[in-house]
């Protein structure tokens, strides 16, 4: 049975159709990345799965519960990191976690959770003295303290500098080894590529691609060939790079010219993504 199953999920805010039939599943123990530009519907999707928002249509099952009607038993088993939320600034890390631990029937050991998110040397520091990255790791610790089966992380590293992002990734990789199912939203491609087993690309309320990061790249096997000719940059996209390259170089040799700064590059997840977002944004509004 899947940890999360979403079928034909729809949600509108007034005239705005935020979700227009979203389908995906997440297997137990899987790290699933929901990737998309701002306003694509990532947070709406996640908040419906968490039970914060009601859906207009479609079927949603999370750990066997319908989140709209689920109660304490459901909340015992999920951990939530919201996109933006604060904690009590004057309490220490340990005090904050002790309060949250008290809500759960079987909480994790506090020291273990603190070490897991790398706040060991900050356990007695007041929350207001933590850096942005450390606060975000405390958010994660709060979500973990109930020992959830399923973890929702809504843009866990937005606003981080590169070093803090790398540190957060290390922590998140550590969670994978605990066997937690994780639903991660992000608009950073490298984050999805580095952390997720599978990625769903959400654009304008619809999943436009679904698969392993490497599959997504392979599926659009486009290769880009770049060179300079007559002082101008030329970029050629091709699905048959051997032939295209042969034709280009053959012509250049025949004409006695050079393909200056010749470069052959496989598409990255970023290329795939930008192409998908571009295609979707180009279509007329519904």
Partner 1 sequence: MRLFLHQLRAEQLIFWRSREAAVFVFVFPILLFLLLSAIYSGEDDGEPVVNVLLAGLLGYGVANTTFGGLAILLVLRRENGILKRLRSTPLPPLTYLAAAVASIVAVFALQTGVLVALAVLVFDADAPAHASALLLVLLLGAASFAALGFAAASLIRTGEGVSPAVNVVVLPMAFLSGGFGPARDLPAILAGVAEALPLKHFVVLVKAAALAGEPPWTHPAAVLVVALWGGAGALVAARRFRWQPRDEG
> Are 206 and 34 in contact, with CB atoms under 8 Å apart?
no
What x-and-dash track marks residues 79-118 binding partner 1 by CB under 8 A?
A: xx-x-xxxxxxxx---x---xx-xxxx-------------
Interface size with partner 1, residues (CB under 8 A):
28
Least distance between partner 1 and beta carbon 80 (Å): 4
> Are 150 and 181 in contact, with CB atoms under 8 Å apart?
yes
Least distance between partner 1 and beta carbon 128 (Å): 10
Using rule CB under 8 A, residue 135 touches partner 1: no
Query: Within a 10 A sphere around the Cβ of 234, how many other Cβ atoms?
Result: 13
Least distance between partner 1 and beta carbon 42 (Å): 14
> Are 166 and 130 in contact, with CB atoms under 8 Å apart?
no
Nearer to partner 1, 16 or 254 (CB): 16
Using rule CB under 8 A, residue 205 touches partner 1: no
Instruction: Restricting to residues 17-56, name those near partner 1 by CB under 8 A.
Output: 50-52
The whole-angstrom separation of Cα 133 and Cα 143 is: 15
Give the position of tokens 């486009």.
222
> Are 184 and 31 in contact, with CB atoms under 8 Å apart?
yes
Using rule CB under 8 A, residue 249 touches partner 1: no
Nearer to partner 1, 75 or 198 (CB): 75
Using rule CB under 8 A, residue 155 touches partner 1: no
Residues 6+ apart with CB under 8 A from 5: 25, 59, 60, 61
Nearer to partner 1, 57 or 103 (CB): 103
The whole-angstrom separation of Cα 4 and Cα 60 is: 8
What burial class does residue 14 get, using C-beta atoms within 10 Å of its C-beta: 0-12 exposed, 13-18 middle, 19+ buried?
exposed
Using rule CB under 8 A, residue 125 touches partner 1: no
Q: Please select the residue that binds partner 1; options are 33, 118, 133, 146, rule is CB under 8 A.
A: 146
Nearer to partner 1, 147 or 198 (CB): 147
Using the 8-state DSSP alphabet, how is residue 280 labeled?
H
Q: Which residues bind partner 1 (CB under 8 A)?
A: 13, 50-52, 72, 75-76, 78-80, 82, 84-91, 95, 99-100, 102-105, 142, 146
């Amino acid at each position: 049975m899947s940890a999360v199953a979403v079928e034909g999920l729809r949600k509108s805010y007034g005239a705005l159709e935020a979700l227009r039939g979203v389908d995906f599943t997440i297997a137990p123990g899987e790290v699933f990345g929901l990737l998309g530009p701002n306003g694509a519907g990532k947070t709406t999707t996640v908040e419906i799965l968490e039970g914060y928002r009601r859906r207009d249509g479609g079927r949603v099952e999370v750990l066997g519960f319908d989140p709209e009607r689920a109660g304490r038993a459901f909340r015992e088993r999920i951990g939530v990191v919201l996109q933006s939320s604060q904690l009590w600034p004057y309490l220490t890390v340990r005090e904050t976690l002790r309060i949250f631990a008290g809500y759960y029937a079987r909480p994790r050991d506090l020291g273990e959770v603190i070490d897991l998110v790398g706040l060991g040397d900050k356990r007695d520091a007041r929350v207001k003295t933590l850096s942005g990255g450390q606060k975000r790791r405390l958010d994660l610790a709060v979500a973990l303290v109930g020992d959830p089966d399923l973890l929702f992380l809504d843009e866990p590293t937005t606003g981080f500098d590169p070093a803090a992002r790398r540190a957060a990734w290390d922590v998140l990789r550590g969670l994978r080894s605990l066997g937690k199912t994780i639903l991660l939203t992000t608009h950073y491609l490298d984050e999805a590529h580095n952390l997720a087993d599978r990625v769903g690309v959400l654009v304008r309320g619809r999943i436009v691609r679904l698969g392993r990061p490497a599959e997504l790249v392979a599926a659009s096997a486009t290769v880009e060939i770049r060179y300079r000719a007559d002082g101008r940059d030329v970029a050629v996209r091709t699905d048959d790079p051997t032939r295209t390259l042969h034709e280009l170089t053959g012509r250049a040799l025949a004409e006695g010219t050079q393909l200056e700064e010749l470069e052959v590059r496989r598409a990255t997840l970023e290329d795939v993504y930008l192409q998908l977002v571009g295609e979707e944004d180009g279509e007329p509004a519904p």
